[in-house]
Structure 1
Amino acid sequence: MDLTRMVIQVFHARPQVKRMSRWGILVKFISGSVTDLLQMAVLLDAMDRVGSQFYLGMGLQYWTSAILNLAISQHYLIMLFIRTQYQLLNTELRKVIEESNELSWNPPRQGTFMTRCCNLADQLEDLAKLQSQLQLIMKQLEEVFGVQGALVYGGYYLSSVSYIYLIYSILKYGYENMNMTLTSVILSLVWCFFYYLDGMLNMSVMLYVQDDHEEMLRLLEERTLFAPGLDVRLEEAFEKLQLQLIRNPFKIDVMKLYDVNRGTTMAMFANLLSHSIFLIQYDMENFEKEII
């Protein structure tokens, strides 16, 4: 409830994020819906080849997956909201920096100079307040979706290894020997594509938010190009915003177990590939001997 209240509060203050994020919402809706529909098709196709005692388990599996996908979609929408807010924030910050730079090198008359400096300082304070709210939403989001995030990461990891081994087994033994039909193979491959596309959307929006935060830090470094002589209040507003970002570094983690960034993502893909190779090597060393 606190998370919803904070999101709605920021949304009412800046409703233009709705227009900026509509394509992201549409792509997520399509990928999530197609993934669920294909999973249902895979389960319905499998019912023809299994006994009735498996129906309940397959139904529970689909129901659990649908609930988890709903939580993932909620997490994605809030992350997309944070990203669009950061994009707006960086756009406004860039304008403030450009105007401040011009003001430092070409100061107008004293009265106009002070008025413009105070106006820019007010804008910087509003931006600092917005950034603090976004970071608070991000912290609350990690607490609410921590368990789901761990389950999702574990599920994607294990399913990736399983499907790589399944593809290897299909190529090695043939889908007929694995009690599969051509229809089930095609449905499974198409489902895998949309399943991992949906996962990449969730991952990419988190990485893009971190990129936008880094962009904000780079923009603030441009204040070193200002000529001396700006108003003291404007200089203090820049320093406060910069110190705020330094003291509260932006990071995304899963239940304090590991950080989510480009480095850990590449390490996860590397471990995924290594474990898949180990599993295939074990199959080649043991099961081929039994066949011979």
Structure 2
Amino acid sequence: MHLVDSFRRQYSPEILPYCRRSIACKFFCASAVETLQGIICLSKMRKGINISAALGILGFFNLSLIIQVIILHYFNGMAYVRGRYTLLKKDLEAVIAETRFLNPNRIGVFVTTCCSLADRLEEIAQAQSDLQALIERLPRTYQVQIVCFIYTAYSSLLANVYAIFTLHKYGVTEEIFPNFIVVTYTAHLVMSLADFWINAYNLFSLLDAHEEMIKLLSEISVLQSALDQRLEAVITNFTLNLVRHPMRLQFLGFFDINRSAAFAMLNSLLSQAIILIQIDIQNK
């Protein structure tokens, strides 16, 4: 309830253009992965299907669907936060643009404008602090489900790579629609990779937006010598707050989500697939 209330306070219709497409792509990819997975399982077990096997498959898909729905909730939350971060970055860019045109020689207008910019910058800093607190709370809420999703995605990708290799090496054993089986496995692998990339892009874009905001603040810091004392203090406090509290997406204390972790996961996936293929060739 606290999490939903936090999202309600941060929500704005202006966020939707920045996250609508990614949410739609995530929903399509997740639905395609689950559908193709179901088709593969049913095609493999169609000759030996019985009540117990059907109940087992149904239970497995119910669990997988629940995890996918929870991950979709997390994805939507991070997409909204990313859209909000983008809006804050645009507001900060507007403050920087106005700061560049300040004229210290016009004392009255200069002081009034600096006070207005300081107020706007304080609002941006407070909104950024609330957003970062929300971002840190999201992984803690969904961390178990996210780790389960990463494990199942890794296992699914590895299994699909090996399955496509075996189909290419030994051929398709099904007598009915053999080409359909190959296409289904290939499509499942492609959609799984697309789903992984969309999830990673959503998180990496958020981290990039945070880094860009730090760079924008460094541009204002160059102009501090020609600014009002209150505006200088707000800029300094905002910059120090970002430096002291770097954004980290951590799950179960095991690892941080960043580009290095994603590259390491793909590298491990490729290495494991090569090992499985080598074992298969050696034991031909």
CA contact (8 A) 2:164 2:182 kept: no
State the Cα distance separating 1:101 from its structure 2 match: 2.1
Q: Distance in 1 between matches of 2:70 and 2:177?
A: 31
Greater mean deviation of Cα atoms: 223-232 or 93-102: 223-232
2:136 equivalent in structure 1? 139
State the Cα distance separating 1:170 from its structure 2 match: 1.1
1:128 equivalent in structure 2? 125
2:187 equivalent in structure 1? 190
Segments of 4+ in structure 1 off by > 6 A?
A: 177-180
CA contact (8 A) 1:101 1:225 kept: no
Q: Distance in 1 between matches of 2:189 and 2:34?
A: 11
2:84 equivalent in structure 1? 85
Deviations 1:74-116 (A, max 9, x none): 111011011111111111111111211221xx33521111111
Q: Distance in 1 between matches of 2:56 and 2:183?
A: 23
CA shift in 2, pair 1:108/1:36, >3 Å: farther
Greater mean deviation of Cα atoms: 231-240 or 197-206: 197-206
1:267 equivalent in structure 2? 264
1:63 equivalent in structure 2? 62
State the Cα distance separating 1:62 from its structure 2 match: 1.2
Percent of residue pairs identical: 31
CA shift in 2, pair 1:49/1:185, >3 Å: farther
1:206 equivalent in structure 2? 203
Q: Distance in 1 between matches of 2:21 and 2:146?
A: 24
Q: Distance in 1 between matches of 2:129 and 2:185?
A: 44
Paired residues in the alignment total 283
Q: Which consecutive unaligned segments of at least 5 residues does structure 1 have?
A: none
CA contact (8 A) 1:89 1:127 kept: yes
Matched residue SS, 2:101: helix
The TM-score, its normalising length taken from structure 1, stands at 0.91
State the Cα distance separating 1:188 from its structure 2 match: 2.6
In structure 2, give the amino acid aligned to 1:8: R
The TM-score, its normalising length taken from structure 2, stands at 0.93
Matched residue SS, 1:21: helix
Give the superposed CA RMSD: 2.0
Matched residue SS, 1:176: coil
In structure 2, give the amino acid aligned to 1:188: Y
2:24 equivalent in structure 1? 26
CA shift in 2, pair 1:211/1:265, >3 Å: same
